[in-house]
Amino acid sequence: MFEYGAKQRVFRIGDVEIGGCPGELPVVLIGSIFHEGHGIVEDRSIGKFDEDRARKLILRQERASKKTGIPCMLDVVSETEVAMERNLSFVAGVTDSPILVNATNAEVRIHGIEHAKDLGIMDRIVYDSINYRIDDREIEMIGDTGVEAALIQAFNPRNPMPAGMVDIICKSGGLLERSEQAGIRKHILFAPVLDLPSVGSAARGVHLLKSRTGYPTGTAPVGVVGRSKVVGSMSPLAKQTSRSAVMALCQAGGADFLIYGSLGRAGQVFPACAVVDTGITYAARANGVRSRSKSGPLNTLFQRPA
């Protein structure tokens, strides 16, 4: 189905494998929690939230993952160091899923990695993220933590098109090189989505980045659906189907992972992506691609009776 210029790499984050050729592994779905505007959060500055609702959301994603065969991760968003400690401690106590340590401020991200080390969960941690704003100090701080996996954002402010994504990642002194300087061994690339029409550019960026580097690559196409005035004028059902459509577009374009936004959407996105994944896996067999997953959607949804 796809031809890439580089050998496709597979990384293990905790118990989840990510990457490879389409059909080799299921797409990984990543839900967000404690983000700005999340209704369960009472005070983002101190990490105060409704623990019962948070636990239910996390477990809902896990149930959707098990039922469909689509693996999952958690995007844990925190505003301050205090909130980061509380958020990570809570999530680590509820789930064994891999965790993206996400914050706008680099110091908060670093503090999160250090706290993850204290919790003994470094094997399932992803630094989120390395981007065009990174400086030598952050590189040194990342290296000092010993974290192995990082999300690398391909947003290029000078050229947001697919060619610009490849350039900012792969050029001499680019983000891939900077990531290596920080000691990162598991590079996970992220193609940005700026608005609804640019979902197509992100899907193209995913293909180009995988072809050039061989590293797992994905995107986050769902958020722009809710921000679109065009879709906003439609019915709630139209919004739901539009979210499924943009995810299917990127998944069919070879995305190894998709960040789908709030965990509350798990019940909608996991079944939709599982259906797409079965088609990708089945078609890939014709190209000689063997699935590495015994629990992927094709086996989970179409198990033969014993």
The answer, yes or no, to whether residue 110 has pLDDT greater than 70, is yes
Q: Average of pLDDT values for 33-62? A: 97
The pLDDT value given to residue 215: 99
The answer, yes or no, to whether residue 231 has pLDDT greater than 90, is no
The pLDDT value given to residue 287: 85
The answer, yes or no, to whether residue 145 has pLDDT greater than 70, is yes
Q: How many domains does the chain have?
A: 1
Indicate the pLDDT class of residue 189, thresholds 50, 70 and 90.
very high
Range in 175-189, 249-263, 286-300 with the lowest mean pLDDT: 286-300
Q: Is residue 94 part of a domain?
A: yes
Instruction: For residue 279, count CB atoms less than 10 angstroms from its CB and return exposed for 0-12, middle for 13-18, buried for 19 or more.
Output: middle
Tokens found for residue 10: 């597979």
The answer, yes or no, to whether residue 234 has pLDDT greater than 90, is no
**Which is it for the CA torsion 256, 260, 262, 267, positive or negative?**
negative
Indicate the pLDDT class of residue 306, thresholds 50, 70 and 90.
very low
Strand, coil or helix: what is 75? Answer: strand
Indicate the pLDDT class of residue 227, thresholds 50, 70 and 90.
confident
Strand, coil or helix: what is 115? Answer: helix
The answer, yes or no, to whether residue 303 has pLDDT greater than 80, is no
The pLDDT value given to residue 45: 97
Percent of the chain clearing pLDDT 70 (strictly above): 99
The pLDDT value given to residue 1: 64
The answer, yes or no, to whether residue 109 has pLDDT greater than 80, is yes
Q: Is residue 58 part of a domain?
A: yes
The pLDDT value given to residue 24: 97
Q: Is residue 89 part of a domain?
A: yes
Q: Is residue 13 part of a domain?
A: no
Range in 8-22, 130-144, 285-299 with the lowest mean pLDDT: 285-299
Q: Which ranges constitute the DSSP H helices of the chain?
A: 51-68, 81-94, 106-119, 136-145, 162-170, 175-181, 199-213, 223-227, 229-232, 236-252, 266-285, 297-301
- CA-based end-to-end distance of the chain: 32
Q: The domain containing residue 232 runs over which residues?
A: 24-298
Q: Is residue 6 part of a domain?
A: no
Q: What are the CB-based long-range contacts (under 8 Å, 24+) for 41-45?
A: 44/78, 44/79, 44/80, 44/83, 45/79, 45/80, 45/82, 45/83
Give the model confidence (pLDDT) of 264-289 as tens digits.
Answer: 999 999 999 999 999 999 999 888 99
pTM, to two decimals: 0.97
- The string over 132-150, giving b where at least 16 C-beta atoms fall within 10 Å of a residue's C-beta and e elsewhere, is eebeeebbebbeebebbbb
- The string over 56-89, giving b where at least 16 C-beta atoms fall within 10 Å of a residue's C-beta and e elsewhere, is ebbebbbebbeebbbbbbbbbbbbbbebbbbbbe
Q: Is residue 147 part of a domain?
A: yes
Q: Is residue 7 part of a domain?
A: no
Percent of the chain clearing pLDDT 90 (strictly above): 91
Q: Average of pLDDT values for 69-88? A: 98
How far apart are the C-alpha atoms of 156 and 263, rounded to whole Å?
Answer: 28
CATH number for the domain including 269? 3.20.20.20
Q: Is residue 12 part of a domain?
A: no
The pLDDT value given to residue 208: 98
- DSSP lists the bridge partners of residue 122 as none
